[in-house]
Chains A and B, each alone.
Chain A
Amino acid sequence: MDKKYEILPHMADGKFRAYGRNLEEALGQAALAMVSLMWDWEKIKPVVKEAIQLEASSPEQLTVKFLTELIYLLEVKSFLLGRVEKIRIEEKPQNGKKIYRLEAEVFGDRISPQYEIYGQVKAVTYNEMKIEKNEDGLVLQVVVDM
């Protein structure tokens, strides 16, 4: 998978920008960007599959929930993300509001001594979060608490 993200300087925590033609692609890149603050995802063997399903009330909330899910998978299932396969986002109306439903398949491996984990993302924040259109699609900026 190509790397289409950049890690930006941030005084206390982790900040990155992820790029994609649409929100799906940008979120996939954001996932790789976030885990790159904790481990080298390119070194993780894609031998374990995890499925993610969630709902949110805005693209920003969807971003927080999707990335938080990866922290959950790390802490509860010892899952190290190495690859993001399919991500699908559906927008649906619900009680007069829009609901964003995400389904994703991610691949990776369980924690083992062969992998170095050098950082810890505690939480995903809304601080300085930006979802902006550019010529090629979308830029997604996220700050995570470390």
Chain B
Amino acid sequence: MELVRISEFIWEIPKSGEMRVPARIYASEKLIELAKRDQTLSQARNVACLPGIHRMSYVMPDAHQGYGFPIGGVAAFDLDEGIISPGGVGYDINCGVRLLRTDYKESDITARRKELLAEIFKEVPAGVGKGGITKLSRNVLKEILVKGAEWAVEQGYGTAEDLDRTEEHGRMKDASWEFISDRAMERGIPQLGTLGAGNHFLEIQKVDEIYDAEVARAFGINEKGQVLVMIHCGSRGLGHQIATDYIELMENKFGFKGLPDRELINAPFKSDLGQRYYKSMCAAVNYAFANRQMIAHWVRDVFAKVMGSSKGMRQIYDVCHNVAKVEKHTVNGKEKLLCVHRKGATRSFGPGRPEIPEVYCQVGQPVLIPGSMGTASYVLVGTKEAEEMSFSSTAHGAGRVMSRNEALRRFRGEQIRDELAKKGVELKATSWKGVAEEASAAYKDVDEVVRVSHETKLGKLVARLVPIGVMKG
């Protein structure tokens, strides 16, 4: 496959064969070498073949091989001639990140760090098969699927200000529960308000470095050592089942002949099936917003109980990094509504976009990039440049470089816990084997990923956060 280097951090696969548009990869030399080792590049090329794709098939700096679309893939499709694909969103619909700031400094919580983490571990259900504390009726679930985080706030989980600082105000308006299977609903009922397992985590973090003091201040990040809380999870079994169901339905309806990969299965956006998937996906997005809203609320409760106050624990932002959204972008000099798929990519709107909270309108949208367990996470800010470069998108995390098997062979959970403890990081987990699988050495260097984002201006560096306490599902 031809790969052309356009500039230091930009690579392109020129249009050839079935490709309707070129594919473009944002990566350093080190990261492009990693992308070449798996199917990331051929998957980006496959996406470029899909009907109605506009401009280019984009690949973010943290990309790796996925199913159909690469993880870290961004593609925008025409609403009339284009498609929507469950494989372009991913199984974990609205897997995303929420970040809370506090007025506490590291020194304020040092003595109570263990207690804080233990209490959070008690309050926030985590791990496989662990149900939430709320027993939902099907009717309440339907309400959540339509209202998202708004439902949670109505029930007393958090405040209206949280909604202002959530993508889509915590509610995708096109959501509907009508086309969601019983199986998906059943999987959703016991799991609301749970963190889950795998790469999902909740961390108490501190500010380690501030790169842009002005933007940081606008976000509520004031100084080094300031304590924050990051929550990384998604729509749980409900979203996974919706993806599985619609892959089957689309395959039964349209077949996969002519597709280079079965997981690229799709439906025309405006078709009945395309709309059913889109509305169900929006409902799963809402479920995930409600999920993170509840978890954030419990974290505040724990701070209030252990530290005496949760004053100043304001939400900085909540982003989705597995989603398809209808957004306005400029194509060939004309403004157009497009269906933007971001699979393992974060929206990165610059200043002035009407979708971002008013308080951030002057600076741009906060972009939250979680690291792997025990390593740094980053706050970036969206840019105007990203609109032209990637339909306003940037990276979403680190991405694995080592299989789970290999990680299990090389590491032991207890040993990771002890090493983190030496660095002053507390760890609580439901399974030590699970911790070993998620060892940070099994992940890409997130520092390199955000450096490329910053240099290319896909999203600019604001602050670096490091963990003090880690909770794994």
Contact = CB atoms under 8 A, between A and B. Distances in A.
Interface of A: 7, 9-14, 37-38, 57, 60-61, 64-65, 68, 71-72, 74-76, 78, 80, 111, 116-120, 122-127, 129, 143, 145-146
Contact of B433 (A11, A72, A78, A118): A118
A79 to B, nearest CB: 9
A61 B64 CA distance: 25
B437 A119 contact: yes
Given A11-B64, A120-B197, 6 more contacts: A12-B400, A120-B128, A123-B240, A125-B91, A126-B247, A146-B404
A12 B64 contact: yes
A12 B65 contact: yes
Contacts of B263: 125-127
A144 B191 CA distance: 20
Contacts of A116: 431, 433
Contacts of A65: 248
A76 B186 contact: yes
Nearest to A80: B129
B268 interface: no
B244 A64 contact: yes
Contacts of A14: 404
B129 A75 contact: yes
B141 to A, nearest CB: 13
Contacts, number: 114
A91 B59 CA distance: 42
For chain B, give the interface size range.
Answer: 35 or more
Contact of B65 (A11, A61, A111, A117): A11
Contact of B434 (A7, A72, A118): A118
B42 interface: no
Nearest to A120: B197
B406 interface: yes
Contacts of A74: 128-129
B190 interface: yes
A78 B65 CA distance: 31
A75 B402 contact: no
B137 interface: no
A57 B92 contact: no
A9 B402 CA distance: 9
B128 A124 contact: no
Contact of B431 (A13, A61, A118, A146): A118
A106 to B, nearest CB: 16
Nearest to A14: B404
B74 interface: no
A93 to B, nearest CB: 16
A11 B186 contact: no
Given A57-B252, A117-B127, A118-B431, A145 B71 contact: no
Contacts of A111: 129
Q: 6 closest A-B pairs (Cβ-Cβ)?
A: A118-B433, A120-B197, A123-B91, A118-B431, A126-B262, A117-B128
B424 interface: no
A127 B262 CA distance: 7
A40 B128 CA distance: 14
Contacts of A38: 128
A72 B92 contact: no
Interface in B55-101: 64-68, 71, 91-92
B129 to A, nearest CB: 5
B350 to A, nearest CB: 31
B434 A119 contact: yes
Nearest to A116: B431
A38 B128 CA distance: 9
Contact of A122 (B64, B92, B403): B92
A54 to B, nearest CB: 11
A11 B400 contact: yes
B404 A119 contact: yes
A9 B406 contact: yes
A120 B240 CA distance: 12
- The winner among B66, B403, B406 for most chain A CB atoms within 10 A is B403
A23 to B, nearest CB: 18
Contacts of A61: 248, 251
A122 B67 CA distance: 13
Contacts of B430: 117
B237 A11 contact: no
A125 B65 CA distance: 13
Interface in B158-201: 183, 186-187, 189-191, 196-198
A72 B402 contact: no
A125 B434 contact: no
A116 B65 CA distance: 30
A119 B405 contact: no
Given A11-B400, A118-B437, A72 B248 contact: no
Contact of A68 (B128, B131, B244, B400): B244
B256 to A, nearest CB: 8
Given A75-B129, A75-B187, A76-B187, A120 B403 contact: no
A15 to B, nearest CB: 8
Given A72-B183, A119-B434, A9 B241 contact: no
Contacts of A117: 127-129, 197, 430-431
17 contacts: A10-B405, A11-B403, A72-B187, A75-B190, A80-B129, A111-B129, A119-B197, A119-B434, A119-B437, A120-B197, A122-B92, A123-B243, A123-B244, A126-B262, A127-B68, A127-B262, A145-B67
A7 B407 CA distance: 14
B419 interface: no
B38 interface: yes
